Amino acid sequence: MAIQHPSLSSGHGRGSVRPFTRGYWFAAVVALIATVMLVVWSPRPSHGADAASAEASTGVATLVSLSQPGSRALRTIDPMPHESVPESAEPDVWCVSTRRLPDTCRVPLSPNLGIEQFVGQGTERSCGRGRWERSDLTRLLGNDGSEGRKPLVIFIHGNRYDPASAKQQGLLMARHCAAACPGTGGVRTVVFSWPSEQQGLLLKDGRAKYERAFSEGRYMAWLLGQIDPLRPVAIVGYSYGALITLEGLKNLITAEQAGRTDLQPWLDRPAPTNLVFIAAAVRCDAFAPRGPYRHTLDCVDRVSLITNSSDDALRFFHLLDRNTNVDALGYVGMPRRWLPDHVEFSAVDGGNIIGRNHGLPLYLSSPSLTKRLCTAAACGLNAE
């Protein structure tokens, strides 16, 4: 039986009353939900350094922004918004990929990592344009006798990056650092590219990548274990990249204490190790006196945080792990007193610049945050 609603009619409110069936109401509700989802997931227009993220949203839906697609975010900014780098100064950038490797429950013995080197414009091998070439770990680490002590800056991206986007953002960060810290020409940047393409929506995708980050920490532990103890290292972890970093150090220490002789020691290593976390998607008590990663500080000389107390994605970090109920380090930060005296510490809240959004290019489009990031990561590595 048709249900007549006296307040709804056809045309401009004149004429006969339109009949509404239950099926019509159901279809209308479905259409409304679809419209809301379209608005939530559609990219927003950008306006310079303080541009909105391509996929910022509110409520539980923002968990997918721990899954900010690098390719979309890259479109929101000029590749070099505040200072250009000449082609002749193209940075030394490599990529280490675990995208074809399975989950693992322990530090592997000899993982088949994909290694590539970026060949910049203007070189004989580039054919007039930049491109990526296959290489191997021996050349990356300089174990063939060349550049074996060249400082490394390892960049670990967040969720929802395809391989091309991961390389793009690593290269972008290296170029920004070259501009912000002119004395870092001898630094080699390594992009750690892990399988973070989109898998489903919302909470399901966020939890899937959260779990995968623990396996990635074991691959990271193996990679770090191949680095000469006399080689300076800085690790830049964005979003889930911070979790992968700490899992890597944690597993490396465990393997070392278990007697693994195929890995270089990291406890009390002589060369400096700097950590830089941007919008870190890791628990805020990571370095607390009884925190799960407290012992990794024995491997670290400097910790630098760039947080965002307005980040809509990190605000719901506590929903990712059913067994814990803690906020994200990148959302609430941490006190200096948690760190030992020998560890340098700095922290800044970028909320006033980034706003409620979650995306690395937004940080790189801010000259002040870029300067802080690159100074913490690379400046001084050559001299130390």
Average pLDDT over residues 79-97: 65
List all residues 6 or more positions away from 108 whose beta carbon is below 8 Å from its beta carbon: 218, 219, 222
Candidate from 157-161, 200-204, 253-257 with smallest mean pLDDT: 200-204
Among 3-17, 58-72, 122-136, 350-364, which range has the highest average pLDDT?
350-364
Average pLDDT over residues 320-337: 94
Distance (Å, whole) CA 384 – CA 382: 6
Full domain range(s) for residue 193: 61-377
Q: How confident is the model at residue 62 (pLDDT cuts 50, 70, 90)?
A: very low
pLDDT at 365 exceeding the cut of 70:
yes
Q: What is the pLDDT of residue 17?
A: 37
Candidate from 181-195, 262-276, 360-374 with smallest mean pLDDT: 181-195
Chain centre to alpha carbon of residue 286: 17
Q: What is the pLDDT of residue 378?
A: 82
pLDDT at 59 exceeding the cut of 80:
no
- Dihedral angle, C-alpha 174, 177, 183, 186, nearest 10 °: -20
Distance (Å, whole) CA 141 – CA 265: 16
Distance (Å, whole) CA 272 – CA 380: 10
- Give tens-digit pLDDT for 223-260: 999 999 999 999 999 999 999 999 999 999 999 999 99
Q: How confident is the model at residue 201 (pLDDT cuts 50, 70, 90)?
A: confident
The residue with tokens 């892990």 is 194
Q: What is the pLDDT of residue 257?
A: 94
Q: What is the pLDDT of residue 127?
A: 55
CATH number reported for the structural domain that contains residue 235 in this entry: 3.40.50
In a domain, 65, yes or no: yes
Average pLDDT over residues 90-98: 94
In a domain, 54, yes or no: no
- Give tens-digit pLDDT for 138-150: 999 986 665 768 8
In a domain, 136, yes or no: yes
- Give tens-digit pLDDT for 253-286: 999 999 999 999 999 899 999 999 999 999 999 9
Q: Which of 156, 162, 281, 158 is closest to 219 using CA atoms?
A: 156
Q: How confident is the model at residue 106 (pLDDT cuts 50, 70, 90)?
A: very high
Q: What is the pLDDT of residue 47?
A: 32
Q: What is the pLDDT of residue 28?
A: 54
Q: What is the pLDDT of residue 24?
A: 47
Chain centre to alpha carbon of residue 220: 14
3-class SS of residue 72: helix
In a domain, 108, yes or no: yes
Contact by Cβ (8 Å): 138, 219: no
pLDDT at 45 exceeding the cut of 50:
no
Distance (Å, whole) CA 197 – CA 335: 34
Q: What is the pLDDT of residue 66?
A: 59
Over pLDDT 70: what percentage of the chain?
Answer: 71
Q: What is the pLDDT of residue 22?
A: 55
Q: Which has the higher per-residue pLDDT, 36 or 121?
A: 121
In a domain, 27, yes or no: no
3-class SS of residue 363: helix
pLDDT at 182 exceeding the cut of 50:
yes
The residue with tokens 């970093």 is 245
How many domains does the structure of the chain reveal?
1
Read off the pTM: 0.79
In a domain, 45, yes or no: no
Q: What is the pLDDT of residue 381?
A: 78
Pairing, β 92-97 against β 114-119: antiparallel
In a domain, 36, yes or no: no
In a domain, 299, yes or no: yes
Q: Which has the higher per-residue pLDDT, 58 or 180?
A: 180
Average predicted confidence (pLDDT) for the chain: 80
- Name the residue type at position 82: H
